[in-house]
Amino acid sequence: MKKLFRVIATVGAALTLCAATASAGNLVIKGSTTVLPISQLAVEAYMKAHPDVNISLSGGGSSNGIKAIIDGSTDIANASRFIKNKEVALAQEKGVYPVPFAVAYDSIIPIVHPSNNLTNITRAQLKDIYMGKITNFKDIGGPDLKIVVCSRDTSSGTYETWEGKVMNKERVSPAAQVMASNGAIVQAVSNNKYALGYIGIGYVNDSIRPLKVDGVEGTKESTLNGTFPISRPLFMFTNGWPKGDTLNFVNYMLHPEKGQKHVEAAGYVPLY
């Protein structure tokens, strides 16, 4: 019995020690998987420059990030869309004042398998495909293949932007496959000659083929000059006007020589 008490006492002491050594400089960043590649580079570089600050970064989707800002479980929310009125109302109820910082520009690029010879697609065609009206690539000048529509889960800001800029309030058909991240869409499309998906410009690589939309190629230039039809700013939201480590990190993100260089390195379009 005595032995047991001693064990309990030791464990207890160890736990208190652990709690006491938790460091002061901690930042939590959550949200959009589209903003994730930028954040990863920025967080790595920032932690190298400031070894005293610990930053934990995770994805999960824009809605998850904004929800986390509202319930106070994150310092910065990455979002690939602007905050919705519903979310603002909820934030006000909880006494939270979300502040948006645009950190980069992005275009949403429709992608197909590299073997697919389709090069151009119109927004009207995209809408019909995602509604389930067009089901074969041959109807839009491609090969005779059934289309497997890949979409994103409802937490995704990319999905919300897609709904706004392509679907015009029409619903994505329930037959569409649902993936939880940009990475999962790339993975699915690169392995499937039937697939059609959409991703943030930072995820475009050689394993898939990006399509022109309405004849415009999605590039940095067409994003910046507004000719590419499906583009948007990417945001970081903070709870109230940022202070301390949060402020330093946001300033770092917006710095043309620091954070904005990471934006470019991640394949997105810098603000300056």
CB nearer other proteins, residue 177 or residue 248: 177
User: 44-48: long-range contacts at Cβ-Cβ below 8 A with a sequence spacing of 24 or more?
Assistant: 45/258, 45/262, 46/249, 46/252
Binder of other proteins out of 5, 19, 146, 226 (CB under 8 A): 146
250 touches 242 (CB < 8 A)? yes
Q: Is 136 in the site for other proteins (CB under 8 A)?
A: no
Q: Is 134 in the site for other proteins (CB under 8 A)?
A: no
Binder of other proteins out of 71, 72, 241, 251 (CB under 8 A): 71
Least Å from the CB of residue 103 to other proteins = 21
Nearest to 205 by CA among 216, 189, 220, 221: 189
Binder of other proteins out of 39, 80, 107, 155 (CB under 8 A): 155
Q: Is 29 in the site for other proteins (CB under 8 A)?
A: no
Q: Is 192 in the site for other proteins (CB under 8 A)?
A: yes
Q: Is 112 helix (H, G, I), strand (E, B) or coil?
A: strand
Binder of other proteins out of 33, 39, 64, 78 (CB under 8 A): 64
Could you tell me the two tokens for 248? Answer: 């330093």
Least Å from the CB of residue 203 to other proteins = 17
How open is the CA angle 159-258-81, to the nearest 5 degrees? Answer: 15
Distance CA 103, CA 40 (A): 14
Number of residues that bind other proteins (CB under 8 A): 29
Distance CA 156, CA 35 (A): 11
Alpha helix (H) residue ranges in the chain: 2-21, 36-49, 62-70, 85-93, 123-131, 157-162, 182-190, 220-224, 244-254, 259-265
110 touches 210 (CB < 8 A)? yes
Segment interacting with other proteins, rule: CB under 8 A, options 106-114, 192-200, 243-251, 254-262: 192-200
Binder of other proteins out of 148, 186, 199, 204 (CB under 8 A): 148
Q: Report which DSSP code applies to 66.
A: H
Binder of other proteins out of 40, 177, 227, 248 (CB under 8 A): 177
Q: Is 101 in the site for other proteins (CB under 8 A)?
A: no
User: What does the binding site for other proteins look like in residue numbers (CB under 8 A)?
Assistant: 60-61, 63-64, 67, 70-71, 87, 90, 146, 148, 153-155, 171, 173-180, 187-188, 191-192, 194-195
